[in-house]
Amino acid sequence: MKRHVCVVVLFLCAWGVSSSTVWAQDAREKSIVQSYNDALGRGPSAGEINYWKGRQDWKSTQDLINLHMIGLKSDGGLQQQAITAAFGKTKYERITPAQGHIDHWKRELSSKPRAQVQLTDDISNWLLQRSGLITQSYSDAFGRGATKDEIKYWLSRTDYNSTAALVEFHRIYIRGNQGAQDEAIKGSYRWVFQRDPEAGEYKHWRQFTKNGTTCKEMVALHEKWKAETVRNVQSNKKLVDAMTRQGLGWNRNNELVKVQPGQGGRLIGDGAGTMVARSGGWLIGQDGASIVAAGGGNIVAAGGGN
């Protein structure tokens, strides 16, 4: 009887030692798996698990993560794995990273290693910031926002680092595409005059857009023209008053003539400045924005000159 008791005790003792060893090994394996997911965004291979089980210089998941961070600082393979995983989890826009994206974030990790959650957040914010550059560049070049497809296209490219650099790409496109030219012209008119341009105004401004003039640059020219027009009208008020008193106006050839009584000639009309004689031509259009000859021949179109 005593012999049987001893056997049972020995068996239980042996089982206890074995189970604690298995438990310890399971705990270490869980730490290894967790550390790979947290640091690199993927699970470890069987070989990696065995490798880390054989090392005794770590006691916790955080110890392993810290060791992975050392690897991320210099191991290009680990860097690429972490970057690719993070791009697949971004909160802003998921794109397949190009080599330029990989190279950029390898430099970032070499300078400042970071675990997967932080890397994913940083890449998400980076893509959001680049989206802002893209949207602004479309506003500057075409007078409109970028579409979702346009944003995704430019996010996939890495050959720019500023809005100005993107605008230069758009400028090249504007030069060779009349549709893009007219889009930029229309954007500038809506921006400054709150209307679409007329046929003659499109024709005039295509001379500029063929050379790559952007919407924002045309806006600046329109604003300058408006300011000068207002100053000219204000500075000529004394002349207009004097001509009114003397009954003077312009004929069809823009020659100064005497307005005959009874013809209803007027020197200042509705709004801010029609200067006409009934038989003559317009000098300043009713909207204060055109200088035209009788019969509709433009001398200066709104925002520029013909």
Q: What is the pLDDT of residue 250?
A: 60
% pLDDT > 90, the chain: 63
Identify the burial level of 11 via C-beta atoms within 10 angstroms of its C-beta, where 0-12 means exposed, 13-18 middle and 19 or more buried.
exposed
Q: Are residues 143 and 210 in the same domain?
A: yes
φ, ψ (nearest 5 deg) of residue 295 = 90, 0
- CB count, 10 Å around CB of 124? 18
190 within a domain of the structure (yes/no): yes
Tell me the pLDDT band of 294, cut-offs 50, 70 and 90: very low
In a shared domain, residues 172 and 196: yes
User: How large is the average pLDDT for residues 26-34?
Assistant: 94
User: What's the CA gap between 264 and 239, in Å, rounded?
Assistant: 20
pLDDT digits (tens, 9 = 90+) for 126-184: 999 999 999 999 999 999 999 999 999 999 999 999 999 999 999 999 999 999 999 99
Residue 88 covered by a domain: no
- Kindly state whether residues 162 and 145 are assigned to the same domain: yes
| Angle, helices 46-54/2-40, rounded to nearest 10 degrees | 110
pLDDT tens, position by position, 45-101: 999 999 999 999 999 999 999 999 999 999 999 999 999 999 999 988 888 999 999
Verify that 144 and 219 share a domain, yes or no.
yes
Same domain, 289 and 220: no
Distance CA 154, CA 133 (A): 10
CA dist 248 and 261 (Å) reads 11
Determine, yes or no, domain membership for 136: yes
- Give dist(CA 81, CA 92) in Å, integer: 20
233 pLDDT more than 80: no
Q: Could you tell me if 135 and 213 lie in one domain?
A: yes
**Which of 197, 228, 259 is the last residue in one of the domains?**
228
Residue 123 lies in a domain: no
- Identify the residue with better confidence: 250 or 286: 250
With respect to residue 217, please indicate whether it lies within any of the assigned structural domains.
yes
The count of structural domains within the chain is: 2
The CA–CA distances, whole Å, from 110 to 41, 64, 190 equal 17, 18, 48
Same domain for 214 and 243, yes or no, is: no
Are 197 and 242 within one domain? Answer: no
Parallel, antiparallel, or unpaired for β 248-250 and 291-292?
Answer: unpaired
Domain C-terminal end among 228, 261, 287: 228
CA distances from 65 to 30, 61, 73, 114 (A): 13, 6, 13, 10
With 0-12 / 13-18 / 19 or more C-beta atoms within 10 angstroms meaning exposed / middle / buried, residue 181 is buried
The answer to whether position 25 is within a domain reads no
Whether residues 136 and 212 share a domain: the answer is yes
Q: Are residues 208 and 139 in the same domain?
A: yes
The verdict on residue 26 lying in a domain is no
Highest mean pLDDT among 23-32, 43-52, 227-236: 43-52
Nearby residues of 90 by Cβ (< 8 Å), 6 or more positions away: 120, 123, 124, 127
Report DSSP state, residue 264: -
Structural domain boundaries, residue 168: 131-228
pLDDT tens for residues 98-111? Answer: 999 999 999 999 99
Residue at 52 is within a domain:
no
Domain boundary among 228, 251, 281: 228
Enter the DSSP assignment of 261: T
Residue 75: the pLDDT is 96
Out of 86-90, 163-167, 208-212, 299-303, least confident range: 299-303
User: 182 and 240 share a domain?
Assistant: no
Residue 240 and residue 222 in one domain = no
